[in-house]
Structure 1
Amino acid sequence: MKGYTCVISLLVLLPLLVGGFPDGAPVDACVKSRPNQPYHGQAQPQPEGSSPYSITASDSTYRPGSKISVVIQGSSFRGFFMQARDAQTGDWIGSWDDAPNTNGIPECAAVTHADNRDKLQATLVWTAPRDTQGGQVYFT
């Protein structure tokens, strides 16, 4: 009987220990094996066009201090990790405005979720650096 109690207790408690990052991606998500590439371990991106999600930016050109709205939407999701990059250099640039249920990661111009509730959309606002001449930006 003790063996069954132990197994049942393990089965009940195990899901509580597995949950990913309910408070958002850690700063370690910025660590990379190649310059300007996020580190996702062995994960590989989906083939283009097969993702059930879309990322829509209000603009792709920035000026010093300008703001661009970025919307993630699609099937229900619980988390995200979004970075802004200069299209010419690939460098991480700018910062993300504070928004409900998000955490900024300034070390790599990123923003992530702050809760693990289901979402159908996340609207984010990116601010271009003030010490730049401007250029093209993309979000990944």
Structure 2
Amino acid sequence: MISFLFASGFSMMSCSSDEDEEGGINFSDCSLDGPNFSISDVAGNWTATQANFDIPGTSQQIDVVAEGGTATLNVQSNGAFTLLITENGASSESTTGDLAFCAGLFTVRYDDAPNDPETIQGSLNNGVFTITGPVEYDVDGDGSDDEAFVILRMERS
């Protein structure tokens, strides 16, 4: 299960005035337009060519795509998203939430943690949408999410 951070999917901009636990991000103050791309630029369906998760400081990692699995992302023009990750031979894990730019920073708000938006890195270059940052994902396959770092590289499907 990916909790991004991709907690169990992506969904967005039903922007309530929720703030994160530390009182930092007020999602209702966020925008669909960022400094280098807008949510409308990434609206649509994406298929991962790389979905690498690793536990920092260890050699434990998994690249879902390289190991025969899939990762797909659907982003709506309002920022709502659904991320579906299927490891080879396993059931699919779905994460939903919202994407936006808060104070110019790419931000995700998970449906299962609406009061705790997370800042991540996102870029769109030559038709490749890349998301990187800290997430929770069961990297070692023991059934418990690990604090991990993701590199999710996607092309339009």
Q: Same fold (TM over 0.5)?
A: no
> In proportion to residue count, which structure has more helix?
1
Instruction: Give the TM-score normalised by structure 2.
Output: 0.26
- Greater strand proportion: 2
When Rg is computed on C-alpha atoms for both structures, the one with the higher figure is 1
The TM-score normalised by the length of structure 1 is 0.29
